[in-house]
């Protein structure tokens, strides 16, 4: 993994920078939800809220739905 040094504008915090980077990389599909959430150092719900504020949709498609259905059926939940 590479190390990058970034100079932040006055008033910006490292936490804000990590959040913005995490949201941008998630939006570009370069990080999964879990990876982006960890980078932002937020709990699941808080990170979902931040994505919503920025109108960044979840990465959840037809394949994900099919996998969820198969998992529920295999576990006898449906």
CA 61 – CA 70 distance, rounded (Å) = 14
Model pLDDT, residue 75: 94
Please give the chain's pLDDT, 78 residues, in tens: 788 888 898 999 999 999 999 999 999 999 999 999 999 999 999 999 999 999 999 988 888 888 889 999 999 987
Where exactly are the structural domains of the chain?
14-74
């Amino acid at each position: 993994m590479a190390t990058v040094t970034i100079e932040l504008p006055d008033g910006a915090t490292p936490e804000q920078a990590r959040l913005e980077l995490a949201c941008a990389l998630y939006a570009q599909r370069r990080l999964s939800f879990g990876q982006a959430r960890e980078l932002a150092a937020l709990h699941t719900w808080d990170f979902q809220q931040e994505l919503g504020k920025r109108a960044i949709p979840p990465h959840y498609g037809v394949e994900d739905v099919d996998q969820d259905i198969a998992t529920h059926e295999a576990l006898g939940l449906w």
